[in-house]
Amino acid sequence: MHPFSCVINATGFGHYVPDPRLFYVTELSIMISVTWLLQAIKCTTPPQSSDRSSSKTHYAAVVASFIAFALAIVYLFGLLTFIVLAKCGLPVIAAIFSSELGLGKLASFKERILAVSLLVATSFLIIVEGSFCATLLGHAELPYHAFFDFLFFQVTSTFILSVSCRCDAQKKIDGQESGVSTIWIATT
């Protein structure tokens, strides 16, 4: 199953159970979405090596290392710290090192800036919602989480998926092996 489909299924499940914290829905959704984000960065990065198996092994090691790091951060410092580090830090790091490592190099500068801006805005929105939930609900009982869901699942994800698919398709047109199936990325 595609990582983004897993995110949608996990968060959908979390919206139907009385206490999603019992099932670690938030943590699971964040871990899967970060894996999906790493996959999107890979799709927008030109191949570094002609050795396809080495590239896949390296990517798997990066994902496994990041997930281990993420679990340690969540356990030691809490979920909001991880959200700031992962959802804001990862795209910013990819944008900073795009010239040196080629991360996201196939995406235009405007696409990278827009993706980083959307992810930072999404992270800010969920942090504000989580930190000030009681205060917000005290002012008006609105479905505040729906704003995050719309921004993340409809706007940000659609934009990142479209850029990833375009870059991955361009790799295939140029005769480069992407190591990633465009259908696998686009299927949700």
Domain residue ranges in the chain:
3-186
> Whole-angstrom Cα distance, residue 46 to residue 171?
7
- Residue 176 has phi, psi (to 5 degrees) of -90, 145
How confident is the model over 139-168, as a mean pLDDT?
87
> Whole-angstrom Cα distance, residue 58 to residue 67?
14
> Whole-angstrom Cα distance, residue 56 to residue 165?
18
For residue 17, give the amino acid letter. Answer: V
pLDDT greater than 80 at residue 128 = yes
pTM of this structure: 0.74
Is residue 3 packed enough to be buried (19+ CB in 10 Å), middle (13-18) or exposed (0-12)?
buried
Residues 9-61: pLDDT tens digits? 777 787 788 788 788 887 787 777 777 887 887 888 887 655 555 555 566 77
Question: Is residue 133 a contact partner of residue 102, using CB atoms and an 8 Å limit?
Answer: no
Q: What is the pLDDT of residue 185?
A: 44
Alpha helices in the chain (DSSP H): 3-16, 25-43, 52-77, 79-83, 90-96, 98-101, 109-131, 133-139, 144-149, 157-173, 182-186
Question: Is residue 56 a contact partner of residue 181, using CB atoms and an 8 Å limit?
Answer: no
Residues 53-101: pLDDT tens digits? 555 556 677 777 777 887 888 889 887 788 777 777 776 666 666 666 6
How high does pLDDT run on average in the chain? 77
For the chain, give the percent of residues with pLDDT over 90: 3
Residues 157-171: pLDDT tens digits? 889 888 988 888 888
